[in-house]
Amino acid sequence: MEFLPISWRLQGKPALLAGGGEVALRKGRLLHRSGAKVSVVAPQVCDELREIVVQSGGACLQRAFAPADLDGQALVICATDNRDLNADIAAQAQQRGLPVNVVDNPALGDFIFPAIVDRSPVLISISSSGASPVLARKLRSQLESSLPARWGRLADLMARFRQPLKAKLDNIGARRLFWEQALDGPLVEKVLAGKDSEAEAMLSDAIDQADASRLSRGEVYLVGAGPGDPDLLTFRALRLLQKADVVLYDRLVGKGIVDLARRDAELVYVGKARDKHALPQDNINELLVHYAKQGKKVCRLKGGDPFIFGRGGEEIDLIVAEGIDFQVVPGITAASGCAAYAGIPLTHRDHAQSVRFVTGHRQDGTVTLDWQHLVSETETVVFYMGLVGLRQICDQLMAHGRRGDTPIALVSRGTTDLQEVITGTLESLPDAIEGREIHAPTLIIVGSVVSLHPKFGWFKP
């Protein structure tokens, strides 16, 4: 993150604008809307900008810039049509410790202006860190068209009821949950429909009925994070992740997904690499209970789907025994996600009429499976966690009747920008990857559907 997005109160503070043309005018309008006291220095100043100066109580200095113009200013904007002059003014301002913006040259300044969606008091700022202002404006136009103008009235309504709610609920966590539930209900639609009096009565009644003990009750969310690509999260998964006070995650959950959690949420890494667990499973189960009993909303973020080789059932056991409320959010399991991104349909009328998911890693470290039921030529078999046992898997499938030329694919870090798909046959693949560095997590797909990968492989990381 190159720039820190902040909201800066400028009401009544002096701001110097160097430049008097169209570019300076655009910045002057923003400063005026924020309540700043705008002064302009330039040999020529357009009429609208001069009017802004008068209305804001600043000074219009219709001449060349002088160093003394920086005296007493809170910030400086360089918007002349002379790049050298802009750079000189910026350097002088920075020597005095004044924050400065240089139009069209963000590298010379300290801050930049984002594109703004204004639903006051709700403001949404969009920045490309100076890389592409046009892109930021494009995103703003999309948001402008999708956000009703009355969102600001909703914020005003909530502001008026903050103190009554605080008087009713002294727990900050309970108050946050109250607002989250209120925004998920009909209150929003009342305001957006212009029914302000009904919305106010509804909110007042909700505060009267607010139950601190219920709102402060802990809960566990067992959330499937999918195979890696953050775009594969479900809406519900994202909503609960951003609602959680504590997030427990393991190595199968990508950083881009963990970053979607609330900024103030406690993030707890629990490891879970093969045979190298940062925390044993029992300890993870106990942590979920520990945090929930403190009245916290706990998100157990798991790669793929929690109930498909995710040990979700084991984690729920203790939660149920302790009488803790919980929700389970399914995720896109690795077989579906990785196969789709590899261009390998798990079923196909001409190749496979069924699919079977199998774990290639057993509790005792061996690969002991019901091999005789895994050798049908019309069935796709997907092995989770099978990289270490790949040679044994291939040997056993051939020993029990699967042909040696059966196509097989090894998908490493599927659905991410680091995805790698290695194809071969049951006979050839173990030797082909011998000595190669293959990164976990991996998935093994066996069956004639793998032959479609060169034709259907659409994802090019």
Each residue's pLDDT tens digit, 347-367: 999 999 999 999 986 556 667
The whole-number average pLDDT for the span 134-156 is 90
Q: Is 148 annotated as a binding residue?
A: no
CA distance 411 to 9: 51
The whole-number average pLDDT for the span 129-146 is 89
Contact status, residue 77 vs residue 15, Cβ threshold 8 Å: yes
pLDDT digits over 171-201, tens only?
888 898 899 889 988 999 999 999 999 999 9
What is the chain's Cα-based Rg?
A: 30
Of 181, 186, 184, 180, nearest to 199 by C-alpha is 186
State both tokens at 81: 């049509």
Domain residue ranges of the chain, discontinuous segments joined by +: 14-113, 151-215, 219-332, 342-456
CATH number for 151-215 (one of 2.40.128, 1.10.760, 1.10.1060, 1.10.8): it is: 1.10.8
Do the bridges between strand 219-224 and strand 297-302 make them parallel or antiparallel, or are there none, so unpaired? Answer: parallel
The share of the chain scoring above pLDDT 90, in percent, equals: 81
pLDDT number for residue 361:
66
Do 14-113 and 219-332 have matching folds? no
The whole-number average pLDDT for the span 45-55 is 96
Residue 247, pLDDT > 80, answer yes
CATH number for 219-332 (one of 3.40.50.2300, 3.90.1280.10, 3.40.1010.10, 3.40.50.300): it is: 3.40.1010.10
Please tell me the class of the 14-113 domain.
alpha beta
Fold observed for domain 342-456 = 3.30.950
The whole-number average pLDDT for the span 321-338 is 96
The whole-number average pLDDT for the span 13-26 is 96
The answer for 266, left when phi > 0, alpha when psi is -120 to 50, beta otherwise, is beta
Of 94, 132, 134, nearest to 111 by C-alpha is 94
Q: How confident is the model at residue 61 (pLDDT cuts 50, 70, 90)?
A: very high
The whole-number average pLDDT for the span 308-325 is 93
Contact status, residue 347 vs residue 380, Cβ threshold 8 Å: yes
Q: Is 20 annotated as a binding residue?
A: no
Please count the residues of the chain: 461
Q: Is 385 annotated as a binding residue?
A: yes
| Residues designated catalytic | 250, 272
Q: Tell me: cis bond preceding 121? Omega within 30 of 0 counts.
A: yes
CA atoms within 13 Å, Cβ hemisphere of 312: 25
Q: Is 202 annotated as a binding residue?
A: no
pLDDT number for residue 272:
60
Strands (E), 210-366: 219-224, 246-249, 266-269, 297-302, 325-329, 354-359
